[in-house]
Amino acid sequence: MPGIEIRAPDDFHAHLRQGAPLAAFARRHAAGFARVAPMPNTLPPLATPAALVDYVASIERAAPGLAVIPVFKLIPGMDENDVRALAEAGARIGKYYPAGSTTNSGDGIRDPAEADEALGAMRDLGLALAVHAEEPSAPVLERETAFLPVLDRIVRAHPGLRLSVEHLSGAAAVRWVEEAPETVGATITAHHLCFTLEDLLGESLDTALYCKPLPKSGADRAELRRAACSGSRKFFFGSDSAPHEPARKAAGAAGVYAAPVALALLAGCFEEEGALDGLEGFIAVHGAAFHGLEPNRGSVRLWREDWTVPEAVDGVRPLAAGRTLRWKAARSA
């Protein structure tokens, strides 16, 4: 079976949720990834040292083979002492959610000035900032582009702060990242590389593909593919795997369960772009370098094999359910 073996990958953006479902989601992640940055939009949020330490321990208990990069949630008014205490508890990344932008973001930042003191402390302590870059008051397809002035403001106000724009979805944001200083990078998901708004809405509504930010046009996807396959160290993988139980999904929750299919989708995308030799950089090298982490040990094997994505995985309808994919992936020892 033709295949490739590359360094075990990182996922710099995933939702492993909390409570009983967490164990299955963490183990699913461990089947493909050596390390994960789990997002802090739990209820209550991961915004205190105790909550963060507990959460990391619960993932390590459930999936001992999965290393965790601790991420805390920025809450309006957090001060320097709060950030220092989180850093001492192991935090490496702070996540900025504009209030009202996505799942459980009602307690997010309303105005970037509310985060200035925390962001200054993060820069001084060497923590990275990850941003959900959508302006909730803008029309839904324009939210990412409408947020770029806020990113400009953050970069100007906090030079030297490492900033990752999360789940890039549009051409304007890709170009913004490319033109930004070297301290700015971005994650890109497998679904934004593989699908467009047509796949989500064109034939019938595919709720398994409904997420924030929305997948956009073919031209946007082409720019994302160009960036991911360019070899630029600014771009690296974050799955934004975001499982929702069926009842919440039926009620309209945004988020795709990408973990079971992400590596297969990525291999197909990089193969189509004639860039399979760049896949390792995108999933296992660039992000670790950006975040100042050692590269993972071990490897992942990817091989050509047709399979149809099941309708349910871990009690959730996964991304690409019912579609036939051409690659499979599994971590080696």
By the criterion CB under 5 A, which residues form the site for Zn ion?
240
Q: Which of 240, 277, 306, 314 is catalytic?
A: 240
225 binds ligand NCD (CB under 6 A): no
φ and ψ at residue 330, rounded to 5 degrees: -155, 140
**Cα(303)–Cα(283) distance, rounded to whole angstroms?**
16
Closest CA to 154 of 181, 190, 178: 181
Q: Is 103 in the site for ligand NCD (CB under 6 A)?
A: yes
Instruction: Kindly identify the residues of this chain, within the stretch 117-176, that bind ligand NCD according to CB under 6 A.
Output: 132
| Overall size of the chain counted in residues | 333
| Least distance CB 254 / ligand NCD (angstroms) | 3
**Is residue 323 part of the contact set for ligand NCD (CB under 6 A)?**
no
Alpha-carbon torsion 244, 150, 113, 181, what sign?
Answer: positive
- Provide, rounded to whole angstroms, the least separation between the CB of residue 51 and ligand NCD: 16
Residue nearest ligand NCD by beta-carbon distance: 255
Residue 212 contacts ligand NCD per CB under 6 A = yes
**Residue 16 CB, nearest distance to Zn ion (Å)?**
11
Report the alpha-carbon angle 279-265-105, nearest 5: 100
Pick out residues in 31-50 that bind ligand NCD (CB under 6 A): 41
Q: Identify whether the C-beta of residue 260 lies closer than 8 Å to the C-beta of residue 14.
A: no
124 is catalytic: no
Given Zn ion, ligand NCD, none, residue 279, with its beta carbon under 5 to 8 Å by kind, binds none
Closest contact distance (angstroms) between CB of 212 and ligand NCD is 4
Q: Which residue, chain included where needed, has tokens 């508890």?
A: 89
**Residues 100, 96, 296, 48, CA torsion sign:** negative
User: Is the four-CA dihedral 22, 25, 30, 36 of positive or negative sign?
Assistant: negative
Is residue 92 at the binding interface for ligand NCD, with CB under 6 A as the rule?
A: no
Select 56 or 211, whichever has its Cβ closest to ligand NCD.
211
User: Which of 171, 68, 169, 154 is closest to 118 using CA atoms?
Assistant: 154
Strand positions, DSSP E, 61-146: 67-68, 71-73, 93-96, 128-131
- Our CB check for ligand NCD shows the closer of 136 and 278 to be 136
Residues from 232 through 291 that contact ligand NCD (CB under 6 A) = 240, 242, 254-255
Catalytic residues, which ones? 240
Q: Which residues bind ligand NCD (CB under 6 A)?
A: 15, 41, 102-103, 132, 211-212, 240, 242, 254-255
